[in-house]
Amino acid sequence: MKLSSFYIWLRQKPRIAFFMCLPLILMVVCLIIYPFIYSIFLSMLNKAETKFVGFGNYLFLFKRETFWLVVQQSIFFALVAVFFKALIGFIAAHSINAIPNKGQRKWRGMLLIPWVIPPALSTLGWWWLFEPTYSALNWFLKEISLPAIPWLSETFWARFSIILVNIWVGAPFFLIMYLAALKSIPADLYEAASIDGANYKQKLYYITLPMMKNIISITILFSIIVTFANFDIVRVLTRGGPIDTTHLFATYAFRVGIESGDIPLGAAVSLFMFPILGTLAFIILRSVRKRAMEV
């Protein structure tokens, strides 16, 4: 009797739904929630991990000149790279969308290549182009009688190089998202606008952009998160140099936490991104939700 009532309880829809979701819940708990809580815990220990120091590590970072340099660089890197990725993605999506359907596929495929190759590998290719002493790009510049550029050994050019590679890797993501968004805009809206005499610019401002607002917001949010937390490009190209001027949160956390063996401080550096990105995500997602409700 007891067994059958348990069986009935088990067969109720909410229970079935819960059990079906259980693998995912377990995955989230094990791979996201536990590491997150553990890293918070770690960031509150002293260097030897023997004493609880509360927010001591965070307060300590506030006093470090190099840390504030990393904060500025991460913000600058993320904003500039995401802006250009979005811009290039937008232009490329429009250009591809304007091509007749038949020829679109090969362009889509080719333009997605940078996004598909593992960044550590493609960045190694870029490193050969930028190599401090035997740069292939500098060889080309020399061939056309232009001066060599210190791609990785001067702060300005090193920052330029890592942003350039990040844009190269990330722009196809915007392209594919924007292309999908463009394709979902009903063609009759453009036809109606054309009949009303709207030019290209007006169609862009009054149809395309409003229809793409949500996807633009979400892709930008997603890209900012990924760009902020970027590691491989900087690690391969500059290792944070010259003179720490290309370090981002992740590479600096690696330097402090893994290379120097100060895991708690490294955890504090990497968790510093969380409130910044959390606030940004809250603002962007709230505006997306608002717009969705308006629709």
Partner 1 sequence: MIKLKKNNLHRRKFIKGLSAVSGYAIAAPYVKTATSAGKLSLGIWSHWIPGQDDLLENILVSWGEKNGVEIKVDFITSIGNKLLLTAQAESRAKTGHDVFSMGVWMSSMFKHRLEPLDDVVEDIITKHGPLLDSAKYYTYLDGHWRASPAPTGSFYDSMVSRYDLFKKHAGIDLQKIFPASKNRDTKLVNDWNWDAFLLASEKLYKAGKPFGATIGATPDSRWLGALFSSYGAELVNKNGDITVDSDEVRQVLEYMSKLTEFMPKSIYAWDDSSNNRWIISGEGSAIFNPASAWAVAKRDNPKIAKKLWHNDMPRGPKGRYRPDNSQFWGLWDFAQNKSAAKDLFRYVAERPVVDACVKGSQGYDIPLIISHFKNNKTWVEASPPDGVLYNYPMRGDEIPVAVAHPAPPEIASQITTQYVIANLIARVTAKGHSFKKAIKWAENELEGVMRG
Query: By the criterion CB under 8 A, which residues form the site for partner 1?
Result: 46-48, 60, 63-66, 132-134, 150-155, 158, 238-244, 255-256, 258-263, 265
Closest to partner 1 by CB, 84 or 244: 244
Q: Residue 60 burial by CB count (10 A; 0-12/13-18/19+): exposed, middle or buried?
A: middle
Q: How far is the CB of 268 from partner 1 (least distance, A)?
A: 11
Closest to partner 1 by CB, 114 or 132: 132
Residue 216, Cβ neighbours under 10 Å: how many? Answer: 18
Closest to partner 1 by CB, 256 or 271: 256
* C-alpha span between 166 and 85 (Å, rounded): 8
Q: How far is the CB of 39 from partner 1 (least distance, A)?
A: 12
Chain centre to alpha carbon of residue 196: 40
Closest CA to 189 of 210, 220, 213: 210
Closest to partner 1 by CB, 209 or 243: 243
Buried-exposed string 146-165: b where 16+ CB fall within 10 A, e elsewhere: eeebbbbeebebbbebbbbb
Closest CA to 64 of 291, 210, 293, 268: 268
Q: How far is the CB of 259 from partner 1 (least distance, A)?
A: 5
Q: How far is the CB of 260 from partner 1 (least distance, A)?
A: 4
Q: How far is the CB of 274 from partner 1 (least distance, A)?
A: 22
Q: How far is the CB of 230 from partner 1 (least distance, A)?
A: 16
Q: For residue 64, give every residue at least 6 positions away whose Cβ sits within 8 Å of its Cβ, in sequence order, or none.
A: none
Closest to partner 1 by CB, 114 or 150: 150
Closest to partner 1 by CB, 121 or 283: 121
Q: How far is the CB of 248 from partner 1 (least distance, A)?
A: 14
Q: For residue 70, give every residue at least 6 positions away whose Cβ sits within 8 Å of its Cβ, in sequence order, or none.
A: 244, 247, 248, 249, 252, 269
Q: For residue 65, give every residue at least 6 positions away whose Cβ sits within 8 Å of its Cβ, in sequence order, or none.
A: none
Is the Cβ–Cβ distance between 136 and 151 less than 8 Å?
Answer: no
* C-alpha span between 219 and 82 (Å, rounded): 10
Closest to partner 1 by CB, 118 or 278: 118
